[in-house]
Structure 1
Amino acid sequence: MSDEWKASAVNEAEAKSWKLLEKTLLAGVQEQRRARRWGIFFKTLMFVYLFVTLSLFVPLLDWRKGAVTTDGHTALVELRGMIADQEAASADNIVGALRAAFEDGKTKGVVLRINSPGGSPVQSGYVYDEIRRLRAEYPAIKLYAVISDLGASGAYYIASAADEIYADKASLVGSIGVTATGFGFVGVMEKLGVDRRVYTSGEHKAFLDPFQPQKAEETRFWKEVLKVTHQQFIDSVVRGRGERLKVDEHPELFSGLVWSGEQALQLGLIDALGNTSYVAREVIGEKNVVDFTVRESAFDRFAKKIGASVAEHLALWMGFQGPVLR
């Protein structure tokens, strides 16, 4: 009996030893996992810190691209993409870059390089007015619009404020018109048996609602708004281009059509064929080009992608879109 008791005690001791060893091993594994998690956390935190620091510091650096000049340079400002608030081609960005270019004491001429389908008439008008103001304030500095692939609608609106307009023979130029687009879902709702309920405090407050039938009087009103905006566009282009436009020979100039650069030259929409290098070298006489375009930081681009407004895009898709120069 004594031997059995001794054997039992030994087994119990061994079991306790194994349990203790198991706990020790598990504790070690858990500690390693904890250390690994904290390591990942601190590495991520350091990455975010460096990213934010760089994004704040980089914009403070000199963002002008080009060789250092002693005598003078051609200032370049890019107008690329849709002209709209909060976009790269917003009026604030373009105007800010143009002001910096004109105010630089070494600027001998400014090139506004355009590749845009147009956009907001408000933003386009803001840039147009500022170009005319800067030209009056700095009469010795000429501004040349250079259209690459596309200079249409609001983009051409802006270009017409320049001293001269250049384009490639295959560039698309013009589209002097206004459009407002949307969808109508009335028929779909009737098929689905869905009843639209809208409560307003004004008789025509919901006249752009795509889920309600159009009313003839509201359609006439909206067309009149677009007509007025179109006339503002036409007046600005005529004021900028003057007698260079062949309106009498080609009344379709303001119909919203678009032409190639070669055709645009014949119509008076542009002054000559040429690119940025040609204008800088042969027209301005300063082949060294310094870029004054406002560039977004990497952090801004990242934040814009993450924080894009779904509601805004949904509203546009559903038809709540204001006038767009086309």
Structure 2
Amino acid sequence: MEVRRESIFVSAVRALCNTFAGMIGVIIGLVILGIVIGSLAKPSLVSDKTQMVIAADANGNRELLPHSAPVILKINIHGVIGSRDLNSKTIMSQLLDSQEGALKGRVKAVLLHINSPGGTAIDAHNIYTKLVEYKTKHQVPVYAYVDGLCASGGMMIACSADKILSGPLGVVGSVGVLMGPNFNFATLMEKYGVKQRTITKGIDKDMLSPYREWKPGEDQSLVNIVAYDYNVFVNLVANARPRLDKNKLINEYGAQVYDPVKAQEYGYIDDANSSYNSALSALVKEGEISGEYQVVELKVIHPVLSGLIEGKSPIFSGKVKHEIQLPADIPSELLNRPLYLYSPALQ
């Protein structure tokens, strides 16, 4: 009988492969275990609590100060309003946590750091409302600093501030509403002999269906909603920014955006040539803060597996989502909703 012996190299490769396969198995097991635990403990894993981060003051200091030091709450309005990380719920969590625990009674002012094209009308308006309520209840000044873009819903949120200051390269404005885009494939379907049938009950239940020719007036209810939301926006801005002429806002400025100098001239903002440090220094003075102070950000923490736990992952839901790829500045979750959003590609 002939006995074959493996070389040391082949044995080493086999051992390595076995070890690698074992590690993959362990990782898969941990992922499955995490999903199971997450589904059973969903309320505790998807938390509204925030994590405190020390930001730089006007002198660049980020040293942790004693709990007796006054605090400026810095709220970042960055990105699309209504997205996972920026919506009325995440802002509410920050406002609530700023009056609890180690921060209770210490917040003397609020700085809104804005770089946003806007987003959903409901989230922008809710955030504006909550900030005004917070300012009134706790008697603290609120300043907004524009570090890039302050458009549409971002402009609405900025109107909650006592003063709006911008860096020299800011973009400000876009007071308007949009809903859409809506596409129509009826002619294309007819050309290729494609047919569809949608069963509905109720007049205009399938309004603006992309699979048939649109009927005159079927979108009237949506037109009315957009008009209503526009009036809310215009009246809010006109009341918050008394130097901004309401008639000119409607008939001349419209949903255009402006450089900081023009924005200051028209009354959208108060200072066109500010900086983060100078805005912070002005807020310190307005809040009557003397001596050292702490600038604090409160970041909402999303659990690692929250996407799976909430059923948004195809792995968890067993569903694959097919969608038309639209311009990058219109996330799919914002479609079919009234938007205070600056989107040049759609205007």
TM-score of the superposed pair, with normalisation by structure 1: 0.77
CA contact (8 A) 1:94 1:293 kept: no
Equivalent position to 2:90, from 88, 93, 102: 93
CA contact (8 A) 2:114 2:147 kept: yes
Equivalent residue for 1:227? Answer: 227
Q: How far apart are residue 304 of structure 1 and its match?
A: 8.9
Distance of aligned partners of 1:152 and 1:61 in 2 relative to their CA distance in 1, 3 Å threshold = closer
Q: How far apart are residue 266 of structure 1 and its match?
A: 0.8
Matches within 5 A, 1:291-310: 291-296=297-302, 299-300=305-306, 307=313
Question: Counterpart of 1:78 in 2: which secondary structure?
Answer: strand
Equivalent residue for 1:278? Answer: 278
Distance 1:29 1:293 in 2: 48
Distance of aligned partners of 1:192 and 1:320 in 2 relative to their CA distance in 1, 3 Å threshold = farther
The more displaced of 155-164 and 279-288 is 279-288
Q: How far apart are residue 166 of structure 1 and its match?
A: 1.2
CA contact (8 A) 1:125 1:157 kept: yes
Question: Counterpart of 1:151 in 2: which secondary structure?
Answer: strand
Equivalent residue for 1:170? Answer: 169
Distance of aligned partners of 1:185 and 1:269 in 2 relative to their CA distance in 1, 3 Å threshold = same
CA contact (8 A) 1:234 1:254 kept: no
Distance of aligned partners of 1:249 and 1:162 in 2 relative to their CA distance in 1, 3 Å threshold = same
Say yes or no: does 1:258 pair with 2:257: yes
Q: How far apart are residue 227 of structure 1 and its match?
A: 0.7
Distance 1:272 1:37 in 2: 60
Matches within 5 A, 1:119-158: 119-139=119-139, 141-158=140-157
Distance of aligned partners of 1:68 and 1:212 in 2 relative to their CA distance in 1, 3 Å threshold = same
Equivalent residue for 2:52? Answer: 63
Superposed CA deviations along residues 13-67 of structure 1, whole A, max 9, x for unmatched, are xx3xx2xx35999xx8998478525642466369869x999xx7xx989532243
Distance 1:129 1:100 in 2: 17
Distance 1:261 1:305 in 2: 43
Q: In the alignment, residue 324 of structure 1 is paired with which amino acid?
A: L
Superposed CA deviations along residues 255-274 of structure 1, whole A, max 9, x for unmatched, are 21111111111111111132
5+ unaligned residues in a row in structure 2: which ranges?
38-44, 56-62, 326-330, 342-347
Q: How far apart are residue 95 of structure 1 and its match?
A: 2.1
Query: How many residues of Structure 1 are paired with residues of Structure 2 in the alignment?
Result: 299
Q: How far apart are residue 84 of structure 1 and its match?
A: 1.2
Question: Counterpart of 2:300 in 1: which secondary structure?
Answer: coil
CA contact (8 A) 2:109 2:283 kept: no
Q: How far apart are residue 280 of structure 1 and its match?
A: 1.6
Distance of aligned partners of 1:30 and 1:64 in 2 relative to their CA distance in 1, 3 Å threshold = closer
Q: How far apart are residue 310 of structure 1 and its match?
A: 6.0
Equivalent position to 1:76, from 57, 61, 74: 74
Matches within 5 A, 1:203-222: 203-222=203-222
Equivalent residue for 1:40? Answer: 23
Distance of aligned partners of 1:24 and 1:220 in 2 relative to their CA distance in 1, 3 Å threshold = closer
TM-score of the superposed pair, with normalisation by structure 2: 0.73
CA contact (8 A) 2:77 2:86 kept: yes
Distance of aligned partners of 1:46 and 1:209 in 2 relative to their CA distance in 1, 3 Å threshold = closer
Distance of aligned partners of 1:183 and 1:62 in 2 relative to their CA distance in 1, 3 Å threshold = closer
Distance 1:77 1:276 in 2: 13
Distance of aligned partners of 1:269 and 1:173 in 2 relative to their CA distance in 1, 3 Å threshold = same
Question: Counterpart of 2:91 in 1: which secondary structure?
Answer: helix
5+ unaligned residues in a row in structure 1: which ranges?
1-14
**Greater Rg over alpha carbons, structure:** 1
Runs in 1 of length 4+ with deviation above 6 angstroms?
28-31, 301-306
Equivalent residue for 1:6? Answer: none
Distance of aligned partners of 1:237 and 1:325 in 2 relative to their CA distance in 1, 3 Å threshold = same
Superposed CA deviations along residues 120-160 of structure 1, whole A, max 9, x for unmatched, are 10111111111111111011x11111111111111111111
Distance 2:227 2:311 in 1: 35
Distance 1:297 1:65 in 2: 21
Larger helix share, 1 or 2 = 1
Distance of aligned partners of 1:62 and 1:218 in 2 relative to their CA distance in 1, 3 Å threshold = closer
Distance 1:214 1:179 in 2: 19
Equivalent residue for 2:111? Answer: 111
Q: In the alignment, residue 177 of structure 1 is paired with which amino acid?
A: G
